[in-house]
Structure 1
């Protein structure tokens, strides 16, 4: 009963202290049920209160971004940087610009980032940041002016060996360029303080593709472990950004049939499967399109279905690549009823707790994002290494290393998550494998 008692004590502590932060509590509770038994079995972890320390951010920075837009009007936004844990290296994690950004979302993302980064085996801590600024419909100049104002506040808290942000939702190569330019001007330093930069100023090949490609490399490792083949499998994908499009492209290259992409407005359904040519066109044009999926439908690449998600479609594999909690209990039931056998997360925590329970009860393969979408931050870590040495590696070598890292993460998940009946609990495997690394690093450094 001691394990349950400790679990109750820590969850009650978090619930009482952060009662309104639903996303953060969801993320911590999901992890705690797997790691508390490991914590209880190690007297040193308990003596140093490792679990409670790991759940709480080392530092949270909240700032106001007051800026003048291109029409001369003052706008005011909120900005955050959650520096969660630095035991394994500099804080590392993306910046998100979206009206739904709040402290709970960023704390959940930063907490998850610590585990994800630990799984890669690279020396990176975990952090996350962003703003409630909405770049949709804004001019390029307004986005530049906001990025510069945001960096004027953030720059005093980051550095190549302190905290290295990257991109996330609505923060791509353009935004990273503006942010980096302002950091360089203010600090008179050319250093690897951001990842996802342009190739011309310290960026890395394969970084844009890494999260989506890495997801498929992990999926391929799962298929090999289960002695099956990705070739010929029907795959549903949600999302229409870099992760979704590159995951779909790599899946098609591996011989799978990808039948969907989606966004907040609806679904693109291609019954015969999207082609390599379709997806490359979407990758090239999605940043400049108001609705790339509708544009694809207009060019007969599939059928546009408004206000629909892809989870009702018959498939072998589902890849949720859009946003947190997009796949809910009824969606999980629809997938299971249509014969889906694998769900791998391309986004961060896209499956609700109730949806996860359906997958576990059905004993299908379910892989959490902290394992399956770690390719992006893995490549960011490799970009940091290139910046430190002032060099740039070629794309094929980086792609090969990305595949190796994803295979290694899969192996760790299997070691920690395989049950006696042969079923692999990838959630448990990922949580425990990452926790051991984090806990040992924290323990070695004292309090």
Structure 2
């Protein structure tokens, strides 16, 4: 390392610049930590390196990065000029230099907005200027970004829509709504993300109605973001839309799983009712024509049970617990799988309601060790002392099932 304390600043600067020029990547990385400590003295020589097109591109990359740490308006024009001369057809190193320059300008904040806005008029620098403006996150960038939301380049449109989605400005809303119909999936996805956090729009523009068609988008990434958006909005209409998607035979498994997770995240009585309805659709008692459960359906059932077991809303724990208990009491076909019984026990343990004690105790007689261990763990989570006393009381009953008695003894021994 260079000792700054015993030398004149100019001498230190010359030494540091020499190492910056001759060093490898790691040495340059260390030098980049020192240069800002030299203050404005270092700005002019660094700008000279940045503007020297014959200089090593990696060194210029470091210089562009270092200049941003000075937070000085003196560096803005040279950085902007570098983007002005940027070419779309550039080498990988040149593109990397352009990207770090855009990032550096974004870090300079409001003072860079005006010159970056001017760059939007140039095709070669428009994308980089858009990247920089999108990262500043200040309301003064709204108007410049609005000028490019219909750009012919879908990457520019997507970047602009993503940035605009972070602002609660009335001018942005119609733009985001229009972007839902963009021919490019990434633009539609960014519009969904932006609208999905706008709870304030639920009533004013019937936001759920606007988003619902995107559940059926041809691109799965758009569908997934729409599921997340509807989960955040938490309305009954959103729940119904997600339920209908999950129930559709044309929807792929991955989207069904994400839809079930979204229903679980919503945590309303209606969302739990629909999760229960999906479970019952696989039960011959409620759906006489149902064939044996397939591996795909078993995957969905596992996801539903896990989602119900994660319910945190206190007012819904009783409903969630009863759904899981019903799977046991109704002898749902899925509980023939030990994994399903483990998940039920795990969920009942997390929900921590006393009403789950008897069903869990019945599962203590299961022949699978893994199921019994999950039940013991769940019992420990439910009113620990009260549960312990209840188990001891059961042991004194004369007509207790021998397998259950053995399970209780095992549970008590591990308490």
- TM-score normalised per structure 1: 0.21
Structure possessing the higher radius of gyration over alpha carbons: 2
Higher strand residue share: 1
